[in-house]
Every structure is written in C-alpha cells, then in structure tokens.
Amino acid sequence: MKTKLSLIKEALPKVGKGDDIVRCMLCPNMCLHVCPVFDAERRLTVSPSVKSRLAYFSSGGEDVGDALWRCLPCNACKQACPTDISVNENLIDERNKICELDEEPESVKLAFITHESMIRDLEKKFREKFGEFEKRDGKLLYFPGCRTFEVAEVIRSTIKILDFLEIDFAFRNVLCCGSYLKELGYLRQFREHIRNLKDILGSYEGVVSNCPHCVKVFLKDYGIKAIHISQLIAGKIDRFKVTELSSDDPDKPDKADKLSSATYHDPCILSRDLGIVEEPRKILSELGIKLKEVGYNKKNTYCCGFGGIYPYIDTSMASKISEERRKQLIEASQTILTFCPICKKALDAKDITEVLAELV
C-alpha cells in the first residue's frame, strides 16, 4: 500500500543531471530578494522559480502569457543561486518551443518587429553619421553594437580613443549581434544570423565592442575572439597619464578641470558574465578620479532595467528599475560613470570613453 508521502514523491518532477528548470522550480524563490523584475512588478508570476514552474508545466503560449519573457539578462539570480542557475538563460529553450508553435504572445511579436525596425533605421543612418570611417579596414573590427548607436557620442569617443592609441581598426556597417533573437526565443533566426555575420567577423583578428551583450554573445555563441573596450583601454592606460595630456589648448581640459570624483555603475553582464570589475576602477584610479562606491557594486550590482528584451516587453517597468538604480547611485555622487551604452542611456550617466576622449 502506497503512503501519502510515496504518492507525493511520485508526483514530483524527477531531477535529472543538468535539469536546471526543475531545480529552480523546486526552490522556494531563494533569489527573490535580488530579482529586479520582481522588485518592480511585485507579483509572484514573474518571480524566478514561478517562471520556471510555468515553463515546466505549460503546454503552450496560452498557458503562460508573456511571463517567461519578463526577465532581464542581469543574472542576479545566478549570482545568488548556490547551484549557479540563470533563470533567463534557462527560459530561452522554453520560449523557443512556444515560438516554434507560433504561440508567442503579441508583446513578443511586437518586440521583434520593433527591434527589426530599429536596425533597419540605423542601417540607413549609418553612412550619414559614420560613413567617413567605413573606408578603414584594419585587423581589429570595432563593433559598437546596435544599442550603442542610440548614444552616438560613445561611438565618436571610442573612435577618438582608438586613433589616439594608434589601433589599426576597421569599422563596418554591421550593427547587431543578434542577441535579442536568442532572448526572444527565435533560435532558428538567431543561428541564421550567426552564420551570416560570422563570415564578416571571421575575416578579422578580433572584435572590440562597447556593448557587454555583444562581447558575451561573440564569445559564447559565435566562438570568436572578442574584448570589451574597457579591457583594451585598461591595458594601455599609461598612455592616458593626465600630466602628459595636459595642454595649453583651451579645448582640452587640464588636470584641474577634469572630474575629481564620481560613482561607478557596474553593468550586469560586464561584471557578472565577463568578470570585468577591476579594469574600470583601474582606469578611474589612473585618471585621479576618486571613486565613491555604492552598496550594490561589482558582481553584486543592481540592474539598470534596460538590458535584453525586457524594455521592449514593458518599458514602464524597465523605467521603474532604472529609476531605483539611479536613486541608489546619486546618493553616492551626482556624477554617474559606466562602461555600457545601455546603462548610460538608462541611468543618464556618462560613459568612461567620453571622459577619456575629452583628455586626448
């Protein structure tokens, strides 16, 4: 005769090796306190372990609405998880199953259309704004990333820095790494995007980008050599010695005119996925900028709210997250610095490339 306990055990999902969805769904939401989406929306439907339960038990898009897409690529859950589980990355396959059934919610379809439209618009504007640089064809490809084109001053600052460092770089009218396709769950289209873009990227010795999302996807999904601009600059920071750059030129700020102090926002992917936390601090230290740290910093940072696909799904909630992060930062300093174009725009911050470009 079966006991109640044995019946319960039979009903529970079996945890197989590598079955992170099951591990997550059986967890009592131990990472809830670090999830920015839950913090903003305040409903359990979008909490980490509940999304995993929805993914496990759902039979199609009608069962889950857009809950599986209400997630940021911040990996705060993974940082807090004792078993190293990323809810966002776990959900990608489940989103793909729903998309392949053509049952994704309208908000997801609209997110895809919105991003595709943005890329087409950027491609048209590329030659108008940056056509002069397209003739360059060096060994290292400078790939800003599509979201960097929303803050074009970062691109111009980066080009100025690369020239100052005498980097032999190329600049092409290729804008998007395709990570949004992966996050939306359109994996077939994502693989096709990789095949098309890899032919171009593979002709260079490496890629440098302002966008942590791009660097991550190039390393993980494309399997090509890629670095973030902060890594390149940190390795050559001695070239930016302020005493050497001081000038009588009124258009160039002297040491006394530059930033004396600021706070720094660690971008989630840059710090957690790429492990880049000391390089930005080294750069600021070498420039003589006193860093005023906030409580949520380094790998324990707090998301800006605008990474990945979430802002396309719910802009108002993404804005709520960015407002919370900005509030945290301005308690330390009114001057916010970062090393990510998405974070710069979301937090009304200044990218460190802009600070450096003012000195050269």
Largest CA distance in the chain: 92
351 by Cβ neighbours in 10 Å (0-12 / 13-18 / 19+) ranks as: buried
The conformation of residue 176, written as its DSSP 8-state character, comes to: -
Average pLDDT over residues 57-64: 77
Among residues 323, 343, 328, 262, the alpha carbon closest in space to that of 297 is found at 328
Percent of residues, the chain, with pLDDT higher than 70: 90
Average pLDDT over residues 195-216: 96
pLDDT of residue 152 exceeding 60, the answer is yes
CA 149, chain centre distance (Å): 14
- What is the average pLDDT value for the chain, to the nearest integer? 91
Which pLDDT score, from 0 to 100, does residue 8 have? 42
Per-residue pLDDT reduced to its tens digit, 109-139 = 999 999 999 999 988 888 788 877 877 889 9
Residue partners of 83: CB distance under 8 A and separation at least 6: 20, 23
Domain boundaries, the chain: 17-103, 108-357
Which pLDDT score, from 0 to 100, does residue 131 have? 77
| Under 8 Å between Cβ of 306 and 267 | no
Which pLDDT score, from 0 to 100, does residue 135 have? 75
Per-residue pLDDT reduced to its tens digit, 15-32 = 544 489 999 999 999 999
pLDDT of residue 87 exceeding 90, the answer is yes
pLDDT of residue 255 exceeding 80, the answer is no
Which pLDDT score, from 0 to 100, does residue 67 have? 96
